[in-house]
Amino acid sequence: MAEAGAHLTSTAANEQPSIFEVLAQESLMEAVRPALRHAVKVLAESNPPRFGFLWQRFDELYLLLDLLLQNHFLSHCSASFSENFYGLKRVSVGQGLPVRLGLHRKSHWRSLLLLCLVPYLRAKLEATLARQRDEEDFSIRLAQTRSQRLYRAAVAAYPYVSSAWQAWIFSQQLLFVFGVARTHNPLLWLARVRLARLNAQDIRDMELKISKTGSPAEGSLLQRAWWLMSQAARGVAVSLSTSLSMGVFFLQFLEWWYSSDNQSTVKSLTSLPAPPPPLHLHLQQEQS
């Protein structure tokens, strides 16, 4: 009995990720959106007739791609893209040990909505807040109807709500570090899930799930159409994940290259003396 309890305790300790792992996966997705936004802005400025709509509808297009990407990873890996990138998975609250790969249906949809809709709504609110500040700076005053007063009051209250939200996140992270809480982020608590490390059995389960995906040859026309749509969405998600994985490594290299701690190394590499000319050119210069 004591040996079984010790085994469960050690298993839970090994599956619990560290605060550095969970913060690293969060910073990954926070860096992807600004990078894509900057790339779309460059394309729109270089060719407005062709790529201008990408910049105008960037938030909505990013939301659509994010829904496809996160739904694919939640369905096949029980994790978001960034969580899977760092070898983590989502586990439904109340699931016993050892935890197996796979989310409950409600946990899946709660995770998908919170992963995609919260950043989208936050970006929209921040854009609205910035626009209102510009209007106040240039003294643009519109007619103060009741709906407009409520709108301005909601926008004015957003910084305080955002500060309270950040304080909640910080408190949750402190509780996670000291082992009091099992989640480091309120969004995970709202989704009724927690993070755990992937193990060898999880990787085998993912490979088995991919190998079992086949065409419903004897299904109805509606089932075949749904299968084709799911396969197309899966292809888009796989392409996005592959390109994002390569882009993440590139972003990490740029972050390392331009970091303040690395400037001395960069200067030493870029300030090397020029090599001497080849021997035959040196002889030609002497003869002339």
Instruction: Tell me the two tokens of residue 191.
Output: 């989704």
Q: What is the pTM of this model?
A: 0.71
Give the Cα separation of 195 and 252 in Å (integer): 24
The 3-state DSSP class for residue 218 equals coil
Q: What percent of the chain has pLDDT over 90?
A: 15
Q: Residues with Cβ < 8 Å from 87, sequence gap 6 or more?
A: 21, 197, 198
Q: What is the pLDDT of residue 187?
A: 92
Helical spans, DSSP H, in the chain: 2-15, 19-46, 48-56, 58-77, 81-85, 105-137, 146-177, 186-191, 200-211, 221-257, 263-270, 279-287
Partner residues linked to 76 by β-bridges: none
Long-range pairs for 123-126: beta carbons < 8 A, 24 or more residues apart = 123/33, 123/59, 124/59, 125/155, 125/158
- Among 38-52, 66-80, 176-190, the range of highest mean pLDDT: 176-190
Considering the chain, what is the average pLDDT of its residues?
Answer: 77
Q: Which of 13-27, 35-49, 134-148, 244-258 has the lowest mean pLDDT?
A: 134-148
Token readout for 196 is 């755990």
Q: Over range 181-209, report the average pLDDT.
A: 86
* pLDDT confidence bin for 240, thresholds 50/70/90: low
197: helix, coil or strand? strand
Distance of CA 164 to the CA centre of its chain: 23
| Residue of 94, 90, 97 whose CA lies nearest to 187 | 90
**What span, in angstroms and rounded, lies between the C-alpha atoms of 193 and 22?**
14
The dihedral built from the CA positions of residue 43, 49, 50 and 53, taken in this order, carries a sign that is positive
